[in-house]
Chain A
Amino acid sequence: MEIWMTAFGNVFDPTALFFIFAGVMMGVMLGAIPGLNSTMGTALLIPFTYAMDATTGLLLLSAVYCGGTFGGSISAILFNVPGSPEASVTGFDGYPMAKAGKAGKALGIAIMCSTIGGLFSVAVMNLVSPLLAEVALTFSEPEYFALAFAALTLIATLGGNKMTKAFLIGFIGLLIATIGIDPMSGLERFTFGWSGLIGGVNFIVALIGAFAVGEILVTAESGSSIGGEGDVKVSTQMPSLAEMLKLKWNILRSAVLGTLIGILPGVGATTAAFLGYSEAVRWSKHPEKFGTGIPDGIAAPETANNAATGGAMVPLLTLGIPGSATTAVIIGGFMVHGLQPGPMLFLNQPDLMYSIFLAMYMANFFMFFSGIIVAKLFSNFRKLRYSILGPCIFVFATVGAFGIANSMSDVWIMFAFGLLGYVMKKFDYSVAPLIIALVLGGLAEESLRRGMRMEDYNLMAFLSRPIAGTILAIAALTLLWTLYSRFRHKPNVLAGEMERPEFK
Chain B
Amino acid sequence: MFRSLLKADVIISVIVFCVALYLYVEIKAMDSGDVYGQLGPAYWPKFVLASIMVLSVMVAFFSIKGVLQGTLPASKKITFTAENVRFIAAVSLITGYLVLLPFVGFLVLTPFMMITFMYLLGERSKVWIFTIPFVLTIGIVLIFTKAMYVPLPRGVGIFLSISHLLY
Chain A residues packing against B (C-beta within 8 Å): 40, 44, 164-165, 167-168, 171-172, 174-175, 178, 182, 184-185, 187, 189-190, 213, 216-217, 219-223, 226, 385-388, 390-392, 394-396, 399, 402-403, 406, 408, 411-412, 415, 418-419, 422-423, 426-427, 445, 448-449, 452-453, 457, 492, 494-500, 503
Can you sample 22 A-B contacts with CB below 8 Å?
A44-B147, A44-B148, A44-B149, A165-B59, A167-B51, A175-B48, A182-B41, A187-B41, A217-B90, A221-B84, A222-B83, A386-B121, A388-B128, A402-B150, A411-B98, A412-B98, A427-B9, A492-B69, A495-B9, A496-B72, A497-B72, A503-B71
Residue of A nearest to B69 (CB): A492
Minimum C-beta distance from B55 to chain A (A): 4
Q: Which residues of A contact B128 (CB under 8 A)?
A: 388
Let me know if A395 and B150 touch, CB within 8 A. Answer: no
B108 at the interface (CB under 8 A from A): no
State A226–B87 Cα separation when bound (angstroms). Answer: 13
A-B contact count (CB 8 A): 183
Let me know if A453 and B52 touch, CB within 8 A. Answer: no
Let me know if B123 and A387 touch, CB within 8 A. Answer: yes
Q: Which residues of B contact A386 (CB under 8 A)?
A: 121
Interface residues of B in 132-167 (CB under 8 A from A): 132-133, 136-137, 140, 144, 147-153
Residue of B nearest to A179 (CB): B45
Minimum C-beta distance from B49 to chain A (A): 7
Let me know if B72 and A221 touch, CB within 8 A. Answer: no
Minimum C-beta distance from A171 to chain B (A): 5
Residue of A190, A220, A497 touching B71 (CB-CB under 8 A): A497
Let me know if B86 and A223 touch, CB within 8 A. Answer: yes
Q: Which residues of A contact B18 (CB under 8 A)?
A: none
State A422–B87 Cα separation when bound (angstroms). Answer: 10
Most B Cβ at <10 Å: residue of A167, A222, A388, A427: A388
Q: Which residues of B contact A168 (CB under 8 A)?
A: 13, 16, 52, 55-56, 58-59
Main SS at interface, chain A: helix
Let me know if A494 and B87 touch, CB within 8 A. Answer: no
Minimum C-beta distance from B39 to chain A (A): 5
Minimum C-beta distance from B122 to chain A (A): 5
Main SS at interface, chain B: helix
**Chain A proximity mask over B1-20: 1 for CB below 8 Å, otherwise 0:** 00000001100110010001
Residue of B39, B44, B95 touching A178 (CB-CB under 8 A): B44
Minimum C-beta distance from B1 to chain A (A): 17
B104 at the interface (CB under 8 A from A): no
Residue of B nearest to A418 (CB): B94
Given A190-B23, A394-B94, A452-B39, A178-B71 contact (CB < 8 Å): no
Let me know if B132 and A388 touch, CB within 8 A. Answer: yes
Given A223-B86, A387-B122, A406-B65 contact (CB < 8 Å): no
Minimum C-beta distance from A68 to chain B (A): 14
Residue of A nearest to B110 (CB): A395
B70 at the interface (CB under 8 A from A): yes
Minimum C-beta distance from B153 to chain A (A): 7
Let me know if B152 and A175 touch, CB within 8 A. Answer: no
Let me know if A167 and B55 touch, CB within 8 A. Answer: yes
User: Beyond the given A184-B36, A223-B122, could you list 10 further A-B residue pairs with CB under 8 A, ordered by the A residue number?
Assistant: A175-B45, A221-B83, A221-B84, A388-B118, A388-B128, A388-B132, A403-B150, A415-B98, A418-B94, A426-B8
Minimum C-beta distance from A267 to chain B (A): 19
Residue of A187, A497, A499 touching B62 (CB-CB under 8 A): A497
Residue of B nearest to A218 (CB): B87
State A450–B46 Cα separation when bound (angstroms). Answer: 17
Let me know if A184 and B58 touch, CB within 8 A. Answer: no
Interface residues of B in 77-103 (CB under 8 A from A): 83-84, 86-87, 90-91, 94-95, 98, 101-102
State A387–B119 Cα separation when bound (angstroms). Answer: 8
State A449–B35 Cα separation when bound (angstroms). Answer: 14
Let me know if B123 and A171 touch, CB within 8 A. Answer: no
State A419–B86 Cα separation when bound (angstroms). Answer: 14
Given A171-B51, A403-B144, A495-B98 contact (CB < 8 Å): no
Residue of B nearest to A177 (CB): B48
B21 at the interface (CB under 8 A from A): no
Given A178-B44, A226-B122, A457-B133 contact (CB < 8 Å): no
Let me know if B66 and A189 touch, CB within 8 A. Answer: no
Minimum C-beta distance from A408 to chain B (A): 6
Residue of A nearest to B84 (CB): A221
Let me know if B133 and A391 touch, CB within 8 A. Answer: yes
Given A164-B59, A395-B136, A498-B71, A184-B87 contact (CB < 8 Å): no
